Amino acid sequence: MLANEFNETCFQYENFMVWDVENMDAFFKGNEVLKTIFEDCYKIPFKDFKQRRGEIQEIDLQIITKLLNYVDDKHFFIFTLHDENHLELVKMQHSKVMDFGLDISNIKKEHVYIMIMDKKTASFT
């Protein structure tokens, strides 16, 4: 999801949580299903990930994005310090469109952050 899309569609989501991912080990420990998705996607046993990392041309952020695209029951918005997505979130927080439960402008530059959310279901009452 792109930053400007999220600004316009954030009200369609609920149960927001920001996941601070310090490295790839932390990413894969965050949810065991990610290891299975990795194996299916890259055809490499997860236990060999570190030894065979050089065979994967994508940078870590691209791997994270690719794997999260396969998760069906959650929606994700990925950002890093001062990228377009992060700047949009800071703007949303400052204009009080969103409250993230943390100061979104004060994040670590070497980490990847993932906004995890659920799409609201339409209720016809």
Give bridge partners of residue 118 from the DSSP assignment.
14
Q: What is the reported pLDDT for 100? A: 81
d(CA 43, CA 35): 11
The per-residue pLDDT for range 71-82, each reduced to its tens digit, is 988 999 899 999
pLDDT at 3 over 70: no
39: CB partners within 8 A, 6+ apart: 45, 46
pLDDT value at 107 more than 70: yes
Q: What is the pLDDT of residues 21-49, one digit of tens each?
A: 999 999 999 999 999 999 999 999 999 99
Q: In what order do the strands lie in the sheet with 13-21?
A: 13-21, 112-119, 75-79
Mean confidence (pLDDT) of the chain: 90
Count of CA atoms in the C-beta half-sphere (13 A) of 7: 16
In the chain, domain spans? 3-119
Single pTM value for the model: 0.86
Helix locations, 10-110, DSSP H: 24-30, 33-42, 60-68, 84-94
